[in-house]
């Protein structure tokens, strides 16, 4: 099986690459895609660069050029739900675009005609994640993840996103990955470790906790790869 593993930043995929041998590099569309064998799995790994456009591009290339059959996203997020603390893991049940706004035409936030406000993650991959969490004794939370082309460092904006979409965490790529995978029928899973609380301290916290939280997320994704390999 060919499995794509994606992050947005080098820090989000480096912990994965470090654990693989005979990694090959492929340069496509101004980005680098890494391939490696892991057990019975053919892995395709890349960081997209930050934001919805780059992550949609990378997802499309993984699917159309590398033929991935599942996509796992690993990275960090800002917490909206106060029960989420720095380092906690959240698996997205569904994702939305908090910055998509044609409300001037009477549509709800996050909606464009022929689209949907929310795109659901694959239930089978969510189940695999819950099994992995149980076996490892990790408290994996599930929740709604809101995506936008903004680093949110503002309590009012965060509250608005939480209230408008019922979102638990926010980041800058997940919903773009979700839209592309949904359109091309590829099961996907988005995992995020909390790096900050999207408030006035978010910039400082992000810089402080990016690496440690990205490693937590990547470690969990590695265990999911083991579970997928052994299934």
Place of tokens 């980005």: 31
Q: Which is nearer to ligand ADE, 160 or 206 (CB)?
A: 206
Q: C-beta of 50: minimal distance to ligand ADE in Å?
A: 8
Q: Which of 12, 122, 173, 205 is catalytic?
A: 12
Residues in contact with ligand ADE by the rule CB under 6 A: 76-78, 151-153, 170-172, 195-196, 198, 202, 206
Q: Which of 168, 171, 196, 199 is catalytic?
A: 196
Q: Mind giving me the DSSP string for 172-223?
A: SSHHHHHHHHHHTT--EEEEEEEEE-SSTTHHHHHHHHHHHHHHHHHHHHHH
152's enclosing H/E stretch is: none
Q: C-beta of 117: minimal distance to ligand ADE in Å?
A: 19
Q: C-beta of 206: minimal distance to ligand ADE in Å?
A: 5
Catalytic site includes residue 12 = yes
Q: Of 120, 121, 103, which is closest to residue 112 (Cα–Cα)? A: 103
Nearest-CB residue for ligand ADE: 78
Q: Which is nearer to ligand ADE, 100 or 152 (CB)?
A: 152
d(CA 84, CA 128): 21
Q: Which is nearer to ligand ADE, 4 or 75 (CB)?
A: 75
Place of tokens 């899973």: 189
> How far apart are the two ends of the chain, measured CA to CA in Å?
11
Place of tokens 């299934």: 231
d(CA 74, CA 8): 8
Catalytic site includes residue 219 = no
Largest CA distance in the chain: 53
- Reading the block at residue 17, the tokens are 């690459």
Q: C-beta of 79: minimal distance to ligand ADE in Å?
A: 8
Q: Which is nearer to ligand ADE, 128 or 152 (CB)?
A: 152
Q: Which residues have a catalytic role annotated?
A: 12, 196
């Amino acid at each position: 099986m060919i499995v794509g593993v994606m992050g947005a930043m080098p820090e989000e995929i480096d912990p994965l690459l470090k654990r693989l041998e005979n990694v090959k590099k492929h340069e496509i569309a101004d980005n680098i895609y890494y391939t490696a064998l892991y057990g019975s799995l053919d892995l395709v790994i890349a960081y997209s660069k930050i934001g919805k456009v780059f992550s949609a591009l990378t997802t499309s290339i993984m699917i159309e050029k590398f033929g991935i059959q599942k996509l796992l996203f690993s990275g960090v997020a800002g917490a909206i739900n106060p029960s989420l603390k720095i380092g906690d893991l959240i698996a997205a049940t569904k994702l939305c675009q908090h910055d998509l706004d044609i409300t001037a035409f009477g549509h709800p936030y996050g909606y464009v005609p022929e689209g949907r406000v929310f795109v659901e993650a694959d239930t089978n991959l969510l189940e695999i994640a819950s099994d992995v969490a149980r076996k490892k004794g990790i408290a994996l939370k599930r929740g709604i993840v809101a995506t936008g082309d903004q680093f949110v460092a503002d309590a009012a904006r965060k509250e608005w996103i939480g209230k408008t979409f019922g979102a638990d965490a926010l980041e800058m790529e997940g919903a773009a990955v979700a839209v592309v995978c949904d359109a091309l029928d590829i099961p996907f899973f988005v995992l995020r470790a909390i790096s900050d609380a999207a408030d006035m301290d978010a910039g400082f916290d992000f810089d402080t906790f990016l690496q440690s939280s990205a490693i937590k997320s990547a470690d969990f994704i590695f265990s999911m790869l083991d579970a997928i390999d052994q299934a």
